[in-house]
Chain A
Amino acid sequence: MGIELGIAALLAAGGAGLNYYNTSKTEKKQDKALAQDIRNQGKKRAETQALTNKEIEKLTASRSADEKEANLAQYTDAIRKAAGNATRGLSGGMGGERFQQDAADASKAVTAFGNDRANTISAIDAPIDQRFGEGVSFGNLGVDIGNVTRQAEDQHFLDQLRLKGIKRNPWLDIASAAMSGAASAGIGSGGGSSSVGLPARGMPQ
């Protein structure tokens, strides 16, 4: 009787131990997979961070001088092309020497006015154009971050699939259930029969 109960207790403990081992092993695997998922998401977040930092560097270095230079070149070119029309009536051989000198001075003044105005307008347009450029760059950043976000979502989906795929070891569960069942049967029979099928003493066979 004592031996059978002892065996039953050992079987019960063995079954519980096996169950515990299986649970623990599965949890560790799941924990590891979940940690990997979090780290993978962290890597993707770091990628977006790097993109953002790059954008901040560009923003910090952003000055309107480049835009001003480009605008000024265009506006000055426009003034140069229109110079003939702008100074018409101020050139030609008519009039005395004094008139011709005054007309030439006036012609120069017209061109100087055009260039001065081109300079002012290009300076006015430059910071606005600069911000347009920055806006376009922010848009590009949004697209780039969107790509990383989609990669992160795909990675998360795969990591979650892996996580869900981590199951308990069925063979260990079967063994554990069998041991527990045998132990229960041994204890339930009041020691009349052991869970391993040994004949019970004092009982009719």
Chain B
Amino acid sequence: MGLGGGTDKASKAAADEQKKKEAAIKQSQDGINAAYNSPARAADIASYVDEMRKYFMGDLNEQKADNDRNMKFALARSGQIGGSTQIDQQKRAGETYNKGVLEVERKSKGAGAELESADQDARLRLISMATQGLDAQTGAQQAAAGMRSALQSGKSSALANGLGDLFSSYKTAYDNSEKAAVRRKADFDAYGGFYAPSKLVYGGG
């Protein structure tokens, strides 16, 4: 109360506004938290992870199918079907496939985590904005900028890199088997048998 008495309108107004402001901040914080913690949003992210998994698994299964086909022909060309080499090769291919499955899972979950991280970042910035009230412009701009930068990195890493060629190391073996088959055929055609004469013996005569 002021010197003259009855001069407490400003302090009452300030107290009223403070109460309203605190109630509004709580309401905003609850609303923002509810929006980001909603089951629907969680389901959206889970669906995103599932689609990511589906996309990468499709790639992986295609690669595996191609590799199985190439291996089958390479082993057949080398006459190694049913041998220990077939078991070794297919064991290695199976292990590579399992590595791929784990990589798919890791990439899918990582993409989901990036999305969640972007959401959490935006949530905190929006809460900060709601708390600041009239100074909220900066908060909103930060929220927008943060969301954009987080998602740009997320989008670029989501599909751009893909799985890569997981079975690339087998390619040399398949190429070699083809070359060996061609060489064998040439030897057979030239010398009438699979065993070409040694260059030393041949040249030494």
Contacts and interface: CB of A to CB of B under 8 A. Distances in A.
Q: Do A and B interact with each other, yes or no?
A: yes
B135 A149 contact: yes
User: Contact residue range for chain B?
Assistant: 35 or more
B106 interface: no
Contacts of B124: none
User: Contact residue range for chain A?
Assistant: 35 or more
A152 B133 CA distance: 11
Given A63-B40, A120-B51, A136-B144, A131 B115 contact: yes
A128 interface: yes
Interface string A135-154: 11011011101101100100
A142 B144 contact: yes
B3 A60 contact: no
B147 A132 contact: yes
Contact of B45 (A20, A24, A127, A139): A127
Contacts of B58: 117, 120
Contacts of A60: 31, 34-35, 38
Main secondary structure, interface of A, reads helix
B140 interface: yes
B32 A27 contact: no
A175 to B, nearest CB: 18
Interface string B1-44: 01111111110111011001100100110011011101010001
Interface stretch (A30-38, A75-83, A176-184): A30-38
A131 B147 contact: yes
Interface in A1-48: 20, 23-25, 27-28, 30-32, 34-36, 38-39, 41-42, 44-46, 48
Contacts of A126: 48
A174 interface: no
A42 B14 CA distance: 9
B89 interface: no
Interface stretch (B96-104, B152-160, B170-178, B186-194): B152-160
B133 A49 contact: yes
B17 A48 contact: no
B16 to A, nearest CB: 8
Given A28-B6, A48-B133, A138-B144, A38 B48 contact: no
Contacts of B45: 127
A142 B151 contact: no
Nearest to A141: B140
Interface stretch (A51-59, A84-92, A98-106): A51-59
B137 interface: yes
Contact of B158 (A42, A124, A135, A136): A124
B75 interface: no
Contact of A139 (B2, B52, B144): B144
Given A46-B20, A124-B52, A135-B147, A31 B27 contact: no
9 contacts: A23-B4, A35-B13, A41-B134, A56-B28, A57-B31, A131-B147, A138-B143, A145-B129, A149-B134
Closest 7 CB pairs of A and B: A24-B4, A142-B140, A135-B147, A139-B144, A35-B9, A34-B10, A31-B7
